[in-house]
Amino acid sequence: MTARRRLLVGAGVAFVGSVAGCLGASGGSDSPGTADLPTRLWLERVDLSSSEREEIDPIVFADLPPEEQQIVETAIEDGEYTVDSEEASPALESLRDRIERRADGGLEVYLRRGETYYRVGFAEGDHIIAHPSQ
């Protein structure tokens, strides 16, 4: 084999090896850094006019089961409620379902506790169910 041919074969092998490495790295189902993201609930207090209050259909804190109320209270008092996604309780899953139904394809969900209104934020890993800024 000539020196030129060895050089071309070596360059070709190096190129194929580097492309294969790139393709292999993207084959995983989880993006790097997102596999271990927790499930999070957070609430942002908002002041709504009476006309804005009439236009929304908030989740009513008093109507929630006690276990869900406890999760909401923790989120209000601590700034957010966070748990590893694999360890989400049935109450948190029920609350997530309730929020997702209320979002109805959007990201804006409200919760009313007494006369206080909150915009709800809920993320399950990198999947955003509701976001207060939307």
Tell whether the model's pLDDT for residue 19 goes beyond 60. no
The answer, yes or no, to whether residue 18 has pLDDT greater than 60, is no
pLDDT at 35: 64
Closest Cα to residue 91, out of 102, 80, 83, 79? 83
Indicate if the pLDDT at residue 21 is higher than 80: no
Q: How distant, in Å, are the alpha carbons of 6, 43, 62, 118 from that of 49?
A: 77, 18, 21, 13
Q: What is the pLDDT of residues 32-74, one digit of tens each?
A: 556 689 999 999 999 999 999 999 999 999 999 999 999 999 9
Average pLDDT, the chain: 83
Tokens 């084999």, residue? 1
- The confidence band for 134, taking pLDDT boundaries of 50, 70 and 90, is low
